[in-house]
Amino acid sequence: MAKTRSAYFCQSCGYESAKWLGKCPSCNQWNTFVEEVIDKGNSHVPTWKSASGSQKLSRPNKIEEIQSATADRTTTGDAELDRVLGGGLVAGSVTLIGGEPGIGKSTLMLQLALNITGRKILYVSGEESEQQIKMRAERITNSPKADCYILTETSTQNIFKQIEQLMPEIVIIDSIQTLHSAHIESTPGSVSQVRECTAELLRFAKETDTPVFLIGHITKDGTIAGPKILEHMVDTVLQFEGDRHHIYRILRSIKNRFGAAAELGIYAMQSNGLREVSNPSEILLSQRDEELSGITIGATLEGARPMLIETQALVSIAAYGTPQRSATGFDTKRMNMLLAVLEKRCGFRLSAKDVFLNIAGGIKVEDPAIDLAIMAAIISSHEDIFISSKICFAAEVGLSGEIRAVNRIEQRISEAEKLGFEKIFISNYNLKGLVKDKFKIEIVTVSKIEEVFSLLFG
């Protein structure tokens, strides 16, 4: 019998130690070490490849001797998912999808399995029964395709036996925290089990050129559960976001070895599953019957996609003496910085006012190009003067009140023109290389925040 050993793992970052530690030297978290029994000598336990399979030995090659190859991509039938993946599925890729419980991860993956034609797909579930998955499939589509196979199993060894018999072209694992490997004598979901199961699936994907999707849980602070090395092992990390009280869901690319990171896909959750939103600007702009103060439109970019979003601000007198600062969908610290610029450079007395900020549609925005739109919305609410719904903004604001240039300004202007806006405020420094004559929309260039307010409010 092989000798077993135990080790201590940090449940936050996966750091391994031979003894218990109160504070993790890697992530500086306290009381996160848990003892796990490891059996590394189980040579009789089969891996994903049968015992008769031979391992291919690798040898070093000079870089000029290596033949160049383009990554062949398979379309998934979902335009939004293809966009986030960088153009489609790459053979041998491993994709990790994380998100809150009930946000729609399993629904998205089951739709993927049912929509891809001409491909044999294996959907492995460790959380639901076959009958539950069949009920969801019937709700999504009236005629589930026959080339999608369902397997309810949590042992990686049994999963690989079925894979060798079925030979699927795409494998979906729901979820990685429910799997367990006989190589590790710890409970499913532990750091060592998650790392070992992912390593086995990674070897399978790379040696057979089979795309693998892994669904992962997230922790209470919004990060993907398990060791941080899990995100380093896979090729693509996708985050499924959204408020369960809103119908819109956002699939965001955090890491992608085969395409651009920070790409974005938008879905609408309906009774019959997730539906793609091809033009997000139209759904993120509310249809108002009358002009209201505190509402402006900002032009932002998510990956390669330009979007126009609505920013809503409410400024009121602090009722209890201590002003409140609250932002939904935007960084509160950056909002406080913009408020300080308004008070210092423009003379608006906001220190005794409550300020509430909301990005409409339930999305989160990190693009600094909406700084000017946010500041205009705050002053519009403070002065109770509306800003025309035909005006939008695309500029960053510095600490001295200067209007800074933003990247890919032509795409932002084109999106605003396409949606019928009549005027857009940008920085003077964006004029370099910009041909204003080819746009029908009026382009207003400014260099300081005071110029913006004098043009808007007089």
Does 303 have pLDDT greater than 80? no
Least confident of 299-303, 308-312, 368-372, 378-382: 299-303
| pLDDT digit string, tens, across residues 155-187 | 999 999 999 999 999 999 998 989 988 877 778
List Cβ neighbours of 400 (8 Å cut-off, separation of 6 or more).
345
Mean pLDDT of 412-422: 91
Residue 236 has a pLDDT of 94
The DSSP code sequence of 39-95 is: -TT-TTS--SS-TTPPPPPP----GGGSPP----EE--S-HHHHHHHTSSEETT-EE
What average pLDDT does the structure give for the chain? Answer: 86
**Is a pLDDT exceeding 90 seen at residue 285?**
no
The answer to whether 317 and 349 have CB atoms below 8 angstroms apart is: no
- Residue 300 β-bridge partners: 307
Q: How confident is the model at residue 52 (pLDDT cuts 50, 70, 90)?
A: very low
Q: Contact at 8 Å (CB) between 103 and 241?
A: yes
Mean pLDDT, residues 93-99 taken together: 93
Q: What is the pLDDT of residue 426?
A: 95
CA 410/CA 46 separation, integer angstroms: 57
The mean pLDDT of 254-280, rounded to a whole number, is: 85
Q: Any bridge partners for residue 121, and if so which?
A: 148, 170
Q: Give the Å distances, CA to CA, from 193 to 6, 139, 162, 183, 340.
A: 13, 34, 20, 9, 49
The model scores a pTM over 0.95:
no
Section 266-280 average pLDDT = 85
Question: At 143, is the pLDDT very low, low, confident or very high (cuts 50, 70, 90)?
Answer: low
Band of residue 107 on the pLDDT scale cut at 50, 70, 90: very high
5-14, 163-172, 365-374, 417-426, range with the lowest pLDDT: 5-14
Q: Please calculate the CA angle 122-196-93 and round it to the nearest 5 degrees.
A: 45
Is residue 140 predicted with pLDDT exceeding 70? Answer: yes
In percent, the amount of the chain with pLDDT more than 90 equals 42
| Most confident segment among 51-55, 57-61, 143-147, 298-302 | 298-302
The pLDDT assigned to 222 comes to: 67
Closest residue by Cα to residue 371 from 291, 303, 287, 299:
299
- Please give the average per-residue pLDDT across 393-419, as a whole number: 93
Which of 5-14, 186-195, 249-258, 421-430 is modeled with the greatest confidence? 421-430
Sheet of 391-393, strand order: 325-328, 353-359, 305-317, 295-302, 391-393, 423-427, 442-446
pLDDT of residue 22 exceeding 60: yes
For the ranges 163-177, 268-282, 431-445, the lowest mean pLDDT is seen at: 268-282
Binned at pLDDT 50, 70 and 90, residue 63 comes out as: confident
In this structure, what DSSP letter does residue 228 have? T
For residue 414, the one-letter residue type is S
Neighbouring CB atoms inside 10 A of 288's CB total 11
Residues 20-46, mean pLDDT to the nearest whole number: 75
Question: Which residues face 6 on adjacent strands?
Answer: 37
Mean pLDDT of 410-428: 92
The predicted structure's pLDDT at residue 305:
83
At 264 the three-state DSSP class reads strand
Binned at pLDDT 50, 70 and 90, residue 12 comes out as confident
Strand partners, 237: 96, 255
* pLDDT over threshold 90, residue 382: yes
